[in-house]
Amino acid sequence: MQKVVPIGKNKITVEEFLMPGHRACLGCGEVLAVRLVAKTLGKDVIVVNATGCMEIVSSPLPYTSWRVPWIHTLFENTAAVASGIEAGMKSLRKKGRYNRETKVLAMGGDGGTADIGLQALSGALERYHNFIYICYDNEAYMNTGIQRSSATPFGASTTTSPAGKMSIGQTTWKKNMPAIVAAHDIPYVATACPSYPFDLINKVEKAAKVNGPAYLHVLSVCPTGWRTASDTAISLGRLAVRTGIFPLYEIESGKYTLNVDPPQLRPVEEYIKVQGRFRHLSPDMIALIQERVTAEYAKLKKMTAQC
């Protein structure tokens, strides 16, 4: 029996399943999210981890920070491996050789999810495997040198979309992965951010209860790649939500719910101006981003109102 402590209306285990001693960068928002997810799911879980930041920092041979079964996969086959594990356990249960309700957690970054692993993820969702997939979105390929991904925001400067005299940086808008996943008609899709820890915990708990695939898209502030101070991960995550750049919502069987809805969105400039990856943007470019964020947030509000 896990020991839990009450915090407000929530309870959380005091046990740690992602231990200290990992090699995440100072102020990493992603590792905060992974720690909360691990504490929420507990010990009866198998983690399937794509190549990426969390794989690198948590498992430098011969050490590991994981206290649960953990498998390292390639960028492109994380959802496929998770599918095989889930199918194998289902077969063993039918034969009476396994009676535990172990949850399968697949996880990867935005590169391993929105880019390289998208095909395998789509197939797993279509086949309706009973597992949780979490994308920890730090908006670039951070552990290999801050290269752009399809989740990199418009205007951000990266090593493969550098800002300069002939370029504003990233020239395409961020891929809407939650919408792509929701188009598969799975039971549960949600966005989350460790800056709102109990919202994240509640969504992981919901995902764990789903009979079928569940998907969480978690904004993971990266001070190194975003060129911000190492003590800003929490405040930046909150700003992303309060400006409408990264709204927190969930889709349960097609029904949209906006979990955090500020009375008035703060200007996106407040979020942009504290990040070095955006320091080259002109007022006109910031105004263009503001226009896009306002329009997308209005569309989301309309979808929640229709449900």
SS (H, E, C) 114-167: HHCCHHHHHHHHHHCCCCEEEEEECCCECCCCCECCCCCCCCCCCCCCCEECCE
In the three-class reduction of DSSP (H, G, I as helix; E, B as strand; rest coil), residue 84 is classed as: helix
Q: Is the pLDDT of residue 1 over 90?
A: no
* Residue 223, domain CATH: 3.40.50.970
- Confirm if 107 and 83 have CB atoms less than 8 A apart: no
Please give the average per-residue pLDDT across 110-137, as a whole number: 98
Residues in CB range of 289: below 8 A, 6 or more apart: 153, 154, 155, 268, 272, 281
- C-alpha angle with apex 199: 197 to 202, nearest 5 degrees? 110
| Burial (CB count <10 Å: 0-12, 13-18, 19+), residue 231 | exposed
Q: Is the pLDDT of residue 126 over 90?
A: yes
pLDDT digit string (tens) for 169-183?
A: 999 999 999 999 999
pLDDT digit string (tens) for 6-25?
A: 555 566 778 999 998 899 99
Q: How far is CA 296 from CA 139, 169, 189, 202, in A?
A: 18, 21, 18, 25
Please give the average per-residue pLDDT across 189-209, as a whole number: 97
The per-residue pLDDT of the chain, averaged, comes to: 95
Compute the distance between CA of residue 42 and CA of residue 45 in angstroms, rounded to an integer.
7
Compute the distance between CA of residue 120 and CA of residue 40 in angstroms, rounded to an integer.
26
pLDDT on residue 306 = 84
**Quick one: DSSP state of residue 113?**
I
Look up the domain containing 197 and give its range.
Answer: 4-306
**Cα 40 to the chain's mean position, in Å?**
15
pLDDT on residue 84 = 98
pLDDT on residue 123 = 98
SS (H, E, C) 273-290: CCCHHHCCCCHHHHHHHH
What is this structure's pTM? 0.95
In the three-class reduction of DSSP (H, G, I as helix; E, B as strand; rest coil), residue 70 is classed as: strand
Of the pLDDT bands very low, low, confident and very high (cuts 50, 70, 90), residue 5 is low
Q: What is the largest CA-CA distance in the chain?
A: 66
pLDDT on residue 51 = 96
Q: Which token pair is 151?
A: 């989740």
Output the CA torsion sign for 9, 11, 14, 17: negative
pLDDT on residue 100 = 92
pLDDT on residue 189 = 98
141 has which bridge partners? 147
Nearest in space to 127 (alpha carbons), one of 94, 79, 91, 175: 79
- Confirm if 186 and 128 have CB atoms less than 8 A apart: yes
Of the pLDDT bands very low, low, confident and very high (cuts 50, 70, 90), residue 234 is very high
Q: Which token pair is 297?
A: 């947030």
Q: Is the pLDDT of residue 2 over 60?
A: no
Of the pLDDT bands very low, low, confident and very high (cuts 50, 70, 90), residue 3 is low
pLDDT on residue 14 = 83
pLDDT digit string (tens) for 241-269?
A: 999 999 999 999 999 999 999 999 999 99
pLDDT digit string (tens) for 52-102?
A: 999 999 999 899 999 999 999 999 999 999 999 999 999 999 999 999 989
Q: How far is CA 284 from CA 164, 222, 288, 289, in A?
A: 16, 26, 6, 9
pLDDT on residue 13 = 77
pLDDT on residue 298 = 97
What total of structural domains would you count in the chain? 1
